[in-house]
Structure 1
Amino acid sequence: MIDITTGHITIDSNNSINPELTILELKNLNLGESQIETDLQNGWTRIQVNNLKIDNEYFLMTFSFLNSAIQIISFIVDNKPIQTNKSWYDYSIKNEKLKQKEYSDWLDRQIGSKRKFKWGEIESVLDNKGGGSSIVMRYGKK
């Protein structure tokens, strides 16, 4: 799914995400069950793609663009459709630490242990302020 040489994410045999992706190109792919666009009014725009199915896994992906150029992709992955209507009552730091470990293990299975590449970096993170764990890809030479 993730090409460590190029930073491309293969969606299916016809579609992929790449470091040169623009907002318009992403919208035209019409990915997932739904897309939510948020213009942060500071040059940044986020597009959340809900329940994008790749192979036998479901992804909730947030694409962050600066001046229409892709900078960051953060995502969570599960073997079943992801609920997007969870509340803070569902949150616990213990569960998020377990998820972060699951995401680290998922990355190990997908790409091995290396996390920095010519195209950028990828890691499993726990965001205490944001209240969740995810996998984050940052494009740009490191």
Structure 2
Amino acid sequence: MINPRTGNLLFAPSQCVRAGDSVEAVLALGLGEANDVNDVHTGWSWLRASNVRVGNDFLALVFGFYHNRLQTVLLDVLPALVGTASNEAAWSEQAALQRLPALQHWVRSEVGREGQFPWGSITADYDFKNVTSSITIRYA
């Protein structure tokens, strides 16, 4: 799904997201559900896509665009659809902390390791402010 040499996100043979893509280009791919754009009027806009199926996993993605160029991706890998009772009932601060090792393992299986690459960086982290674990991709 993540090309370790380029940082491109490949969802299907004809669905590829690249650093620098525009909001319109990513929207046109029709990834998952709930594709809503939030322009915060600071140069940044955010596109959310939930329930993007990749293999047996469901992804929740937030694409961050600065002046309409993709700069960052926040990614969550889930075993069930976003918005389902089983997924929502399982949420807790403890569960979010316990998911971090699984996300770190997912990153290693995709790109070999966390850290810096020629195309940018990828990390799996726990966010104390938002009480969630997620994967962050930042493009150079």
Specify the alignment match of 1:62 in structure 2: 62
- Tell me how far apart the structure 1 counterparts of residues 9 and 3 of structure 2 sit (CA, whole Å): 6
Correspondence 1:28-47 to 2 at 5 A: 28-47=28-47
Specify the alignment match of 1:115 in structure 2: 115
1:34 is paired with a residue whose SS is: strand
Specify the alignment match of 1:91 in structure 2: 92
- Tell me how far apart the structure 2 counterparts of residues 84 and 36 of structure 1 sit (CA, whole Å): 19
Closer/same/farther in 2, CA of residues 46 and 111 from structure 1, 3 Å limit: same
Deviations 1:71-105 (A, max 9, x none): 11001012321237988x9431x222211111001
Q: Which structure features the higher share of strand residues?
A: 2
Q: TM-score normalized by structure 2? A: 0.90
Is the Cα contact below 8 Å between 2:51 and 2:81 reproduced in 1? yes
Specify the alignment match of 2:105 in structure 1: 105
Structure 2 residue ranges without an equivalent (≥5): none
- Tell me how far apart the structure 2 counterparts of residues 24 and 33 of structure 1 sit (CA, whole Å): 16
Letter in 2 for 1:91: S
Q: Between Structure 1 and Structure 2, how many residues are aligned?
A: 138
Specify the alignment match of 1:82 in structure 2: 82
Q: TM-score normalized by structure 1? A: 0.89
Structure 1 residue ranges without an equivalent (≥5): none
Letter in 2 for 1:74: L
